């Protein structure tokens, strides 16, 4: 099972809103980057990912799960991009800040650090384990 990281500015879509969407989840609209799209296409039902708040917060705040695989993003006028559906699984008991991630030598190669602008990122099994542990899971 692969792991991922989804970035969102809380002012446009926050963890609280994701939780409020419940079991039905929501479509992760708005990805307009080819590499991010490649990651969306590689996602499978049941894959889990980190929900990261960018700008305000700058922390991993929860775990989400893929509940629908890649399909066209109706908000994309060009029709070139797609999306997946996500639902909230559980919050991090302790948000894992960007600062805390940077402080971990084992996490120096995380895409979050190396290519901070990418909005949908792969997370290795080891990174998954370490960040979960930092967050108290």
In the three-class reduction of DSSP (H, G, I as helix; E, B as strand; rest coil), residue 125 is classed as helix
Q: Count CB neighbours of 75 within 10 A.
A: 12
Q: Residue 124, by phi and psi: left (phi above 0), alpha (psi -120 to 50) or beta?
A: beta
Nearest to 76 by CA among 37, 7, 30: 30
Taking the least distance from each CB to DNA, the nearer of 26 and 54 is 54
Assess 79 for contact with DNA (CB under 7 A).
no
To DNA, the closest distance from the beta carbon of 62 in angstroms equals 16
For the chain, the residue count is: 137
Residues 3 and 48: beta-carbon distance below 8 Å: yes
To DNA, the closest distance from the beta carbon of 137 in angstroms equals 21
Report the residue from 66, 98, 111, 134 that binds DNA according to the rule CB under 7 A. 98
Contact letters for DNA, residues 21-50 (x by CB under 7 A): -----------xxxx---------------
Stretch that binds DNA, among 18-26, 41-49, 53-61, 103-111 (CB under 7 A): 53-61
Rounded (5°) CA angle 43-130-9:
60
In the block, tokens 């692969």 appear at: 2
Taking the least distance from each CB to DNA, the nearer of 32 and 87 is 32
To DNA, the closest distance from the beta carbon of 15 in angstroms equals 15
By the criterion CB under 7 A, which residues form the site for DNA? Answer: 7, 9, 32-35, 54-55, 58, 98-99, 102, 115-119
């Amino acid at each position: 099972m692969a792991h991922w990281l989804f970035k969102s500015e809380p002012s446009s879509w926050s963890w609280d809103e994701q939780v409020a969407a419940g079991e039905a989840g929501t479509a992760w609209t708005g990805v307009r980057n080819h590499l991010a799209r490649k990651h969306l296409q590689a996602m499978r039902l049941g894959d889990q990912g980190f929900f990261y708040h960018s700008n305000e917060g700058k922390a991993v705040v929860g775990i989400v799960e893929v509940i629908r695989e890649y399909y066209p993003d109706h908000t994309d006028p060009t029709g070139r991009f797609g999306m997946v559906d996500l639902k909230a699984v559980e919050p991090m008991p302790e948000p894992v800040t960007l600062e805390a991630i940077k402080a971990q030598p084992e996490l120096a190669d995380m895409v979050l650090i190396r290519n901070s602008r990418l909005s949908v990122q792969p997370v290795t099994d080891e990174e998954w384990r370490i960040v979960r542990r930092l967050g108290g899971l």
